[in-house]
Amino acid sequence: MKSGNGKILLGLSIAAFMGPFTQTIYTPSLGEVGHYYHASQFMVNLTISLYTFVLATNQFLVGPLADTRGRRATLLPGLLIFIVGSLICFLSPNYYLFLFGRALQAFGITTGSVVAAAVIGDLYPPKERGKAMSVYQTMVFLGPVLGPVVGSFIAASADWHTAFAVLAAGALFAYFYNRVILPETLSKETAPRKITIQTFLGILTNRAAFSVLLLGFVQFYGYYIYLVFIPGLLDELFQVPLAVKGLFFLPLTAGIVIGSLVGGKLQSFMRHTSILIYTAYGIGIVVTVFWVCLHWGLLNIPSLIVLLLFYGVMLGMSLPSQSTSLVNLFAKEKGTAMGVYNFVRFTGAAIGPLLGSALFKLGGDDALYITLFLFLLCGAVVIQKSSRANEELHG
């Protein structure tokens, strides 16, 4: 990895990290948000749901912009829009103005994850691309986990509004850093002249791409199931104090970091599809063991930590291969392909807590985790069948 590319990757990773980090940084203070704005629980939750919705749907705009207008030309204005949105949230005395600020935040920071993956595809040759993708994907997954941890610290030492001032400062740093370091990496020779509906349909109907998109959806769904339901499980089984609940996400986080680094290196001597197949079934096995332990009363704190660690490792190993596969499949539409991918997996993240709550209400932990296993199994089978079809086609 060239030192210049490493500096570029650092700036891009910071920008990609900001999106999911902003999604959860103030979740420990949701009660205070409701009191401050005299807002109902629904109105408070809407500030998160709206952010997630805009973050997902704006991928369809940002991806084509990055492919036609340029990577740098898309990222830098996006960061400025995010800064404005963050300052509005920081200063807003009114709920609806705060909601508008959240929408602006999401609209602007969408550029981070899309441009990061596209630039990696531009700068890194196929053999080195996996390692770079592992760094990018690790930062994306660390965001929603570290958000509540940092948010709790900020809320304990200052007013909850301060979190948005911190976000504005972080984005300002990312803006100036990328303004200085990031060149325009989009080649005029490879840039598509126009992105149309047919471009999106071509991505969605490509069998190999569809299998990766499905895998990303079910794995993000599962990831957010764990993020949302583990705290309640800790209350129910172990009566864990609020002050130490966040520590139980450390094994999951550590596993994702380890898995992403390992997954990036594995791409040097294993096919992307092989990594995706093995990790897809591996995550399914971990969820099965977790459910068996939970159902039969065998789950204790050490086994929970180990299972969260292995879940994170399997997930982390899968992520670089997902991004690299899509970038390799669509050389001229890297940004658009990553935009579709991010939309699909963020949709999985949004659906996870909602569908999970309905399933839990219907059948408790059994319904929640058996359904998760079936979703993961479906993703594993589809990626395996897609791999076999591709081998037969080119064999």
Closest by alpha carbon to 33, among 102, 106, 95, 103? 95
pLDDT at 50: 86
Both 142 and 221 in a single domain? no
Closest by alpha carbon to 315, among 251, 255, 389? 255
Report yes or no: 87 and 36 within 8 Å, Cβ to Cβ.
Answer: no
Both 77 and 207 in a single domain? no
Distance (Å, whole) CA 33 – CA 199:
42
Report yes or no: 279 and 383 within 8 Å, Cβ to Cβ.
Answer: no
pLDDT at 262: 85
Residue 344 sits in a domain of what CATH number?
A: 1.20.1250.20
Of 191, 221, 253, the one marking the end of a domain is 191
Distance (Å, whole) CA 342 – CA 340:
6
pLDDT at 79: 97
DSSP state letters, 42-84: HHHHHHHHHHHHHHHHTHHHHHHHHHHT-HHHHHHHHHHHHHH
Both 103 and 183 in a single domain? yes
Both 389 and 337 in a single domain? yes
Distance (Å, whole) CA 338 – CA 336:
5
pLDDT at 392: 44
pLDDT at 218: 95
Report yes or no: 117 and 15 within 8 Å, Cβ to Cβ.
Answer: no
pLDDT at 393: 39
Closest by alpha carbon to 371, among 356, 384, 350, 382? 356
pLDDT at 85: 97
Both 169 and 218 in a single domain? no
Total number of domains in the chain: 2
Both 47 and 165 in a single domain? yes
Closest by alpha carbon to 225, among 360, 52, 64? 360
Q: What is the pLDDT of residues 262-283, one digit of tens each?
A: 887 787 788 888 999 999 999 9
Both 213 and 350 in a single domain? yes
Q: Rounded mean pLDDT of the chain?
A: 87
Both 226 and 360 in a single domain? yes
Q: What is the pLDDT of residues 213-227, one digit of tens each?
A: 999 999 989 987 887
Place of tokens 């490792």: 313
Which pTM value belongs to this model?
Answer: 0.80
pLDDT at 313: 94
Of 156, 191, 226, the one marking the end of a domain is 191
Domain assignment of residue 235, given as a range = 196-395
Q: Residue 341 gets which letter from DSSP?
A: H
Both 32 and 169 in a single domain? yes
pLDDT at 376: 95
pLDDT at 263: 80
Place of tokens 């969820």: 287
Both 103 and 187 in a single domain? yes
Both 242 and 335 in a single domain? yes
Residue by residue, pLDDT tens for the chain (395 residues) are 465 788 999 999 999 999 989 988 887 787 788 899 998 877 887 888 788 889 888 988 898 889 888 999 999 999 999 999 999 999 999 999 999 999 999 999 999 988 988 899 888 887 788 778 878 877 877 787 788 778 878 877 888 899 999 999 999 999 999 999 999 998 777 666 677 888 888 999 999 999 999 999 999 899 878 877 887 788 788 887 755 666 777 788 888 888 888 887 787 788 888 999 999 999 999 999 999 999 999 999 999 999 999 999 999 899 888 988 898 888 888 888 988 998 898 888 778 877 888 898 899 999 999 999 999 999 999 999 988 766 543 43
Both 206 and 111 in a single domain? no
Which residues 6+ apart lie within 8 Å of 247 measured at CB? none
Report yes or no: 58 and 81 within 8 Å, Cβ to Cβ.
Answer: no
Of 157, 191, 225, the one marking the end of a domain is 191
Distance (Å, whole) CA 366 – CA 370:
6
pLDDT at 391: 56
Q: Which segments of 275-380 are extended strands (E)?
A: none
Identify the three-state secondary structure at position 238.
Answer: helix
